[in-house]
């Protein structure tokens, strides 16, 4: 007869320190042997009489939780057993709380035991920590008795420095431990104030060391200060050249207006002049520091069409210096011809105001477009009943490779953009994207810029460490900015480091931190971003490599161009 073993009770839940009596009854022919099996730390006593056996456990420990106890009956026919798991209730105990460590996130590791599962609470400097998207408690592993995890901090700043206390509670008790965590120097402490004072970024800019050019649709050149023509801090300041003479040589703003190394514009450039009566203004599109931008109809511009829609940029100031800069930039823009650079048609100088005429990109700047076709678009529809179509991953790749194509062209022409961002790209029909803007970015997107001194506005969230600290702008610094543009695209237009102040962003970038992988971003694209964000400029990906990789990724998933409806 096959033996049988019956263990009673079949389920056990006891508090730590209590005792437990178990009985096991066997049957079978011949009479089976009865065997107890267990791995316990508590003391025990076994009493057997015939086919019955009694197990007494004394002073159960939390370490016995989830321990298995088996009773087995065995004879020459075979064996059969019965078992249970001990469920021991006990108060929490924090077995580990370690120093903060950094990988892609900062983490304060901990291990906590307790049954039932403890509730965890954190205090920072004796004040409750509010958890959310950027600070959260994560459990990574659960063993028989312990919960292993960390308090994860997403890009913490000096505001997160301090003493962290972990409190673990359940209905049987509580435990707490504390540890000091330091993530970032306080930006404006005495020591740090002295350090930052020595960074050239924060020295006063005398006169017009940095000039924003006429900041046309195509802001493709040396742009620090978006005052349109000249900085007015010093009347003696002269305008600077637009171009850079190579990726690793100083840019024109570093070399000065009369540097022999700066390439100059061809004197043979012929700028097209458009008659005033051929331009019919329709409505105002916006206003920047330089003047206003209008949607207009332009006649006799194309031999194939009687009139076409254009974007017209007017110039407020008409001083002699302003006119010279106006002419120089018109010559510069005339030389730029590429499918992903906004087309410059010409100028109208018959009378004031001076006018530049560009192609009209129907859907406006890329940043606004991304936000309008992202998961939060419903917040921006302003009462519209239909929800906008959300961009797909393949469409994002299509956008990215077009911008990279335009940047390859600029690099081939030895131009350093200095302010590449989605706000400075425009969207036309069929998801056509081109580099260029109305010159209104620093007015419309003022929070994207950090004001230094009187007029100088720096897009620090898009700038690499060498540009922030030493004002060094090269093709490699444009590559860094392109990586940030990719991050913008795959976050549907979020502002880089949006949870941090400008001073905290400077700290993060100069300390070597980078933006995290967006939720919708493929690993291949994030690896490409990381290749753009290498601290050493020469270690960054080449602009042609970036375009090739994006083009291959985009080809792998063809774009279905119905996004614009």
To the question of whether residue 256 is assigned a binding role by annotation, the answer is no
To the question of whether residue 483 is assigned a binding role by annotation, the answer is no
To the question of whether residue 352 is assigned a binding role by annotation, the answer is no
Strand-pairing partners, residue 162, are 181
Contact 464, 472 (CB under 8 A): no
Q: How far apart are CA 224 and CA 214, in angstroms?
A: 12
Tokens standing for 524? Answer: 């291949």
CB-based contacts of 541: which residues, under 8 Å, 6+ apart? 479, 528, 531, 532
Give the residue carrying structure tokens 């205090």. 123
Tokens standing for 419? Answer: 């302010």
Strand-pairing partners, residue 348, are 355
Distance between alpha carbon 200 and the CA centroid of its chain, in Å?
Answer: 27
To the question of whether residue 361 is assigned a binding role by annotation, the answer is yes
Q: How far apart are CA 111 and CA 325, in angstroms?
A: 65
To the question of whether residue 437 is assigned a binding role by annotation, the answer is yes
Tokens standing for 53? Answer: 């056996």
To the question of whether residue 320 is assigned a binding role by annotation, the answer is no
Distance between alpha carbon 321 and the CA centroid of its chain, in Å?
Answer: 41
Ramachandran area for residue 331 (φ above 0: left; ψ -120 to 50: alpha; else beta):
alpha
To the question of whether residue 363 is assigned a binding role by annotation, the answer is yes
Q: Which of 34, 5, 38 is nearest to 20 (CA)?
A: 38
To the question of whether residue 304 is assigned a binding role by annotation, the answer is no
To the question of whether residue 331 is assigned a binding role by annotation, the answer is no
To the question of whether residue 104 is assigned a binding role by annotation, the answer is no
Catalytic residues, by residue number, are 419
Q: How far apart are CA 183 and CA 101, in angstroms?
A: 9
Contact 389, 565 (CB under 8 A): yes
To the question of whether residue 342 is assigned a binding role by annotation, the answer is no
To the question of whether residue 542 is assigned a binding role by annotation, the answer is no
Q: Which of 377, 395, 396, 485 is nearest to 435 (CA)?
A: 485
Q: Are strands 79-97 and 12-15 parallel, antiparallel or unpaired?
A: parallel
To the question of whether residue 364 is assigned a binding role by annotation, the answer is yes
To the question of whether residue 406 is assigned a binding role by annotation, the answer is no
Helices 523-532, 543-556: inter-axial angle, 10-degree rounding: 170
Interior angle at CA 212, CA 207 and CA 214, nearest 5: 125
Beta strands in 171-266 (DSSP E): 173-181
Tokens standing for 105? Answer: 């996130």
To the question of whether residue 207 is assigned a binding role by annotation, the answer is no
Q: Which of 435, 432, 447, 436 is nearest to 563 (CA)?
A: 432
Give the residue carrying structure tokens 């267990």. 38
To the question of whether residue 307 is assigned a binding role by annotation, the answer is no
To the question of whether residue 17 is assigned a binding role by annotation, the answer is no
To the question of whether residue 488 is assigned a binding role by annotation, the answer is no
- Binding-site residues from annotation: 285-293, 313, 359-365, 423-424, 437
Binding annotation for ATP: 285-293, 313, 359-365, 423
Tell me the binding residues for Mg(2+).
Answer: 424, 437
């Amino acid at each position: 007869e096959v033996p049988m073993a019956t263990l009673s009770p079949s389920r056990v839940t006891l508090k730590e320190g209590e005792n437990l009596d178990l009985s096991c009854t066997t049957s079978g022919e011949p009479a089976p042997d009865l065997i107890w099996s267990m791995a316990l730390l508590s003391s025990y006593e076994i009493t057997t009489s015939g086919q019955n056996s009694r197990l007494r456990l004394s002073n159960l420990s939390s370490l016995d939780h989830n321990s298995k106890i088996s009773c087995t009956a065995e004879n020459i026919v075979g064996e059969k057993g019965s078992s249970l798991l001990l469920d021991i209730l006990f108060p929490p105990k924090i077995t580990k709380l370690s120093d903060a460590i950094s990988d892609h996130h900062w983490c304060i590791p901990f291990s906590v035991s307790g049954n039932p599962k403890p509730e965890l609470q954190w205090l920072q400097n004796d004040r409750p920590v509010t958890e959310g998207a950027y600070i959260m408690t994560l459990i990574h592993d659960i063993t028989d008795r312990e919960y292993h995890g960390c308090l994860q901090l997403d890009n913490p700043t000096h505001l997160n420095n301090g003493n962290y206390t972990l409190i673990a509670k359940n209905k049987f008790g509580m435990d707490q431990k504390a540890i000091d965590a330091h993530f970032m120097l306080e930006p404006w402490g005495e020591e740090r104030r002295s350090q930052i004072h020595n960074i050239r970024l924060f020295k006063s800019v005398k006169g017009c060391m940095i000039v924003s050019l006429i900041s046309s649709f195509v802001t493709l050149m040396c742009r620090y200060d978006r005052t349109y023509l000249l900085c007015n801090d010093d009347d003696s300041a002269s305008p600077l050249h637009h171009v850079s003479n190579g990726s690793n040589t100083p840019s024109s703003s570093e070399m000065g207006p009369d540097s022999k190394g700066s390439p100059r514009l061809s004197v043979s450039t012929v700028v097209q002049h458009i008659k005033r009566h051929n331009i019919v203004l329709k409505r105002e599109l916006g206003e920047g520091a330089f003047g206003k931008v209008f949607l207009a109809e332009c006649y006799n511009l194309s031999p194939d069409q009687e009139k076409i829609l254009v974007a017209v940029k007017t110039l407020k100031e008409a001083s002699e210096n302003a006119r010279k800069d106006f002419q120089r930039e018109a010559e510069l823009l005339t030389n730029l011809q590429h499918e992903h650079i906004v087309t410059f048609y010409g100028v109208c100088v018959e009378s004031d105001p001076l006018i530049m005429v560009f192609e009209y990109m129907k859907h406006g700047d890329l940043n606004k477009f991304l936000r309008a076709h992202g998961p939060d678009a419903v917040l921006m529809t302003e009462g519209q009943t239909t929800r906008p179509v959300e961009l797909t991953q393949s469409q994002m790749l299509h956008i990215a490779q077009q911008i990279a194509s335009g940047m390859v062209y600029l690099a081939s022409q030895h131009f350093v953009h200095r302010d590449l961002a989605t706000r400075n790209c425009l969207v036309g029909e069929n998801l056509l994207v081109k580099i260029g803007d109305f010159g209104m970015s620093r007015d419309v997107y003022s929070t994207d810029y950090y004001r230094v001194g009187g007029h100088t506005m720096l897009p620090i969230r898009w700038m690499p460490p060498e540009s922030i600290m030493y004002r060094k702008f090269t093709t490699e610094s444009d590559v860094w900015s392109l990586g940030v543009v990719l991050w913008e695209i795959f976050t549907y237009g979020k502002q880089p480091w949006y949870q941090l102040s400008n001073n905290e962003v400077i700290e993060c970038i100069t300390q070597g931190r980078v933006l995290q992988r967006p939720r919708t971003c493929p690993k291949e694209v994030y690896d490409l971003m990381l290749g753009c964000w290498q601290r050493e400029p020469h270690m960054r990906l080449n602009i042609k490599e970036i375009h090739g990789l994006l083009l291959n990724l985009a080809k792998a998933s063809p774009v279905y161009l119905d996004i614009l409806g």
